């Protein structure tokens, strides 16, 4: 039985990869509709860093909900 859960940061990485996007494009898509609340590139990169680095930032639940709304429709199917 697998009791480990993925962090929001790990899930974000999976969503971006699953959509086949590079980080700058993913950030542009993510920021659409956020207006002045849009993330800066340096903040975005912090979500993809190793947790042991000082640059790492936790991706909160509100941002994760937005990421799932934006990136889920873009997921590439592995079934043909």
What is the model's pLDDT at position 80? 47
- Which residues contact residue 10 at a Cβ distance below 8 angstroms, ignoring those fewer than 6 apart? none
Convert the pLDDT of each residue in 20-74 to its tens digit.
Answer: 999 999 999 999 979 888 999 999 999 999 999 999 999 999 999 999 999 999 9
Give the torsion sign (CA, 58, 43, 36, 63).
negative
- Which residues contact residue 7 at a Cβ distance below 8 angstroms, ignoring those fewer than 6 apart? 58, 59
Find the angle CA(21)-CA(50)-CA(42) to the nearest 5 degrees: 60
| Per-domain residue ranges of the chain | 8-72
């Amino acid at each position: 039985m697998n009791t480990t859960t993925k962090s929001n940061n790990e899930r974000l990485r999976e969503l971006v990869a699953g959509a086949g996007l590079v980080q700058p494009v993913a950030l542009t898509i993510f920021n659409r509709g956020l207006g002045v609340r849009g993330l800066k590139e340096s903040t975005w990169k912090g979500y993809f860093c190793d947790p042991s680095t000082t640059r790492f930032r936790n991706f909160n639940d509100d941002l994760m909900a937005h990421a799932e709304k934006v990136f889920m429709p873009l997921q590439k199917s592995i079934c043909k």
